[in-house]
Amino acid sequence: MTNQKMTLGEFIFDNQSAFPYSTGELSKLINAIRLAAKITNHEVNKAGLVDILGDAGNTNVQGENQQKLDVYANVKFIQTLIQRGIVCGIASEEEEDFIAVNSHDGKNSNQYVILIDPLDGSSNIDVNASVGTIFSIYRRTSPIGKPVELKDFLQPGNKQVAAGYVMYGTSTILVYSTGRGVNGFTLNPALGTFYLSHPNLQFPENGRIYSVNEGNYVHFAQGVKDYIKYCQREEENRPYSSRYIGSLVSDFHRNLIKGGIYMYPRIGPRQNGKLRLTYECNPIAFLTEQANGVATTGYERILDVKPTALHQREALFCGSKNMVEDLIHFVRRDTL
Whether the predicted pLDDT of 2 surpasses 70: no
> Rounded distance, CA 253 to CA 319, Å?
10
The answer, as to whether pTM is greater than 0.95, is no
Query: Model confidence over 288-332: pLDDT tens digits?
Result: 999 999 999 999 999 999 999 999 999 999 999 999 999 999 999
Rounded distance between C-alpha atoms, residue 268 and residue 143, angstroms: 41
The proportion of the chain whose per-residue pLDDT surpasses 90, expressed as a percent, equals 68
- The Cα-based distances of 176 to 145, 159, 179 in angstroms read 29, 16, 9
Q: What is the pLDDT at residue 35?
A: 94
Residue 270 pLDDT: 60
Same domain (yes/no): 309, 280: yes
Predicted confidence (pLDDT) at residue 62 exceeds the cutoff of 90: no
Q: Which of 169, 198, 227 is the last residue of a domain?
A: 198
Shared-domain flag, residues 248 and 124:
no
The verdict on 142 and 218 lying in the same domain is: no
CATH number, domain of 136, equals 3.30.540.10
Q: Are residues 331 and 262 in the same domain?
A: yes
Residue 1 lies in a domain: no
pLDDT at 36: 93
**For 244-282, what is each residue's pLDDT tens digit?**
999 999 999 999 999 999 999 998 666 778 999 999 999
Do residues 215 and 244 touch, judged by C-beta distance below 8 A? no
Which of 144, 166, 198 is the endpoint of a domain?
A: 198
Looking at the predicted structure, is the pLDDT value of residue 334 above 80?
no
Task: Give the range of the structural domain holding residue 305, as residue numbers without chain letter.
Answer: 209-335
318 and 259 housed in the same domain: yes
Question: Could you tell me which of 335, 242, 318, 326 has the C-alpha nearest to residue 275?
Answer: 318
Structural domain count, the chain:
2
Find the mean pLDDT for residues 196-200. Answer: 96
On the question of pLDDT at 189 being above 70, the answer is yes
Q: Is the pLDDT of residue 49 over 90?
A: no
Residue 88 domain flag: yes
Q: Are residues 193 and 240 in the same domain?
A: no
Give the whole-angstrom CA distance, residue 39 versus residue 96. 24
Same domain, 149 and 237: no
- Report the pLDDT averaged over residues 42-57: 56
Rounded (to 5) percent helix, strand, coil in the chain: 35, 25, 40
H/E element holding 93?
A: none
What CATH number has the domain bearing residue 219?
3.40.190.80
Q: Do residue 108 and residue 215 come from a single domain? A: no
286: three-class secondary structure by DSSP? helix
Instruction: Looking at the structure, tell me whether residues 14 and 162 fall in a common domain.
Output: yes
